[in-house]
Amino acid sequence: MPKTAPDPLRDGRLLSQAIKAIRRLKGLSARDVAARMNMGVRTYQHFEAGRNRPNLEYIHRFCAVTESDPFALLGALMIGSPAFARRTAETKLMTILMIGLKDYDAAMGDRILDQDARTLIAAVDGMFARLKRDADERDAETRRWIEAGERDLSARRPRPGR
């Protein structure tokens, strides 16, 4: 099956949506971000609108001024999910993964060539399954804590007719 080249129009549209979502999340105006990136408003507007091919320098500058994750912006393009960049802007999920990959590459060197794809898939799948399980457990624990607290507050409240 022949590989298709990336669609710069689609990439620009995805990048635009991701950048706008992060900027709004941070409560910044386009003018604010342009000034902090040390670029003209019009240049920034073209960047944010995705009118040009994705520019790595601009992506890194944007992420520096918004304190977001440049690797998440790139990842959002790769997986076709602008929301991913917003969701991971502050957790730096993709930066953490890239640091892990850098360390893994340094430790393994050419031994990576001999690794079985099934082993890699199982490791990555297991990691994400554990992250989801931990989040589900924290959510359930939070719900239980709030419900117990509400019951306690309700029990302490005077009842009508006392």
- In the predicted structure, residue 140 carries a pLDDT above the cut 80: yes
pLDDT tens for each residue of 26-45: 999 999 999 999 999 999 99
Rg of the chain taking only CA atoms, in angstroms: 22
pLDDT class for 156, splitting at 50, 70, 90? confident
**In angstroms, rounded to a whole number, what is the distance separating the alpha carbons of residues 44 and 106?**
37
Q: Give the model's pLDDT for residue 4.
A: 65
Q: Which amino acid is at 63?
A: C
| CATH number of the structural domain 8-94 | 1.10.260.40
Give Cα separations from 33 to 23, 41, 156 (angstroms): 8, 9, 50
Q: Give the model's pLDDT for residue 160.
A: 75
Q: Give the model's pLDDT for residue 78.
A: 92
**In angstroms, rounded to a whole number, what is the distance separating the alpha carbons of residues 44 and 31?**
8
Angle at the Cα of 60 from the Cα atoms of 16 and 48, rounded to 5 degrees:
20
Q: Where are the domains of the chain?
A: 8-94, 116-156
